[in-house]
Amino acid sequence: MEGIEACRLIMFLHLKGYSAQKIHDEMKAVYDNDYLSYDTVVRWKRNFQSGHMSLADEPRTRRLSLTDSAATVKKVGNLILEVRLVTIHVIMYENGLSYGSVWKIIHDELYMSKVSARWVPRLLTPL
């Protein structure tokens, strides 16, 4: 059972005045093993009771990634060029980034990899 189909069914039965338990029992009888959990039915019924009758997802704000910032990438690049033996952990603490963010900047933005304890460009020819 698709999510939007299940939500429409819950909304329809809610408008007919069914309780959450009765809606869940009806879905269980009709859809055999392919039905929503009782908690999901309760959550959707509560949503409809509070007046949110829209089935479409509401727009979400995307948290900006620090790796998207050119200034952050430049700071990491400068730190690596100053001290070739620097580790990801040192870069993390210097810039307040997570391990994954630093790794992504080094490998995906700066195109560098660790060779003999030094950061070097993956391509040894200029871009």
Q: Which of 73, 120, 79, 78 is nearest to 101 (CA)?
A: 73
For residues 72 and 78, the answer to whether their CB atoms sit within 8 Å is no
Domain ranges of the chain: 3-49, 66-121
- Return the residue matching tokens 């100053």: 82
Residue 124 pLDDT class (50, 70, 90 cuts): low
How far is it, in rounded angstroms, from Cα 99 to Cα 91? 9
Task: Give backbone dihedrals phi and psi of 124, rounded to 5 degrees, phi first.
Answer: -85, 0
Q: Give residue 51's pLDDT.
A: 83
Q: How far apart are CA 76 and CA 87, in angstroms?
A: 11
pLDDT value, residue 21: 92
